[in-house]
Amino acid sequence: MAQALFSQSLAGQFGLKARFQKLRDTLDAHAKRRAVYSRTVRELHALSDRDLADLGMHRSEIPRIAQDAAEMA
């Protein structure tokens, strides 16, 4: 009986630890994607309309382009 309780206790601890690690990994991935999005928006907004046109972009496309870049990160 004591062995069974001990085994369940260990399984619960490792399960909880794994859940926290997964949460941390998820938050880290979100932060990384958000950083890529923010940096892309900032850099593209710094370009002139002519520079954007030379790249085949319009200023209104910046959020979508930044989102695409963040999803690839």
pLDDT band for 17, please (50, 70, 90 cuts): confident
Q: What is the DSSP string of 1-59?
A: -HHHHHHHHHHHHHHHHHHHHHHHHHHHHHHHHHHHHHHHHHHHHTS-HHHHHHTT--G
For residue range 21-68, list pLDDT tens digits in order. 999 999 999 999 999 999 999 999 999 999 999 999 999 999 999 999
Helices 2-45 and 62-72, axial angle in degrees (round to 10) = 140
pLDDT band for 16, please (50, 70, 90 cuts): confident
pTM: 0.74
Amino acid at 62: I
For the chain, the domains span 21-72
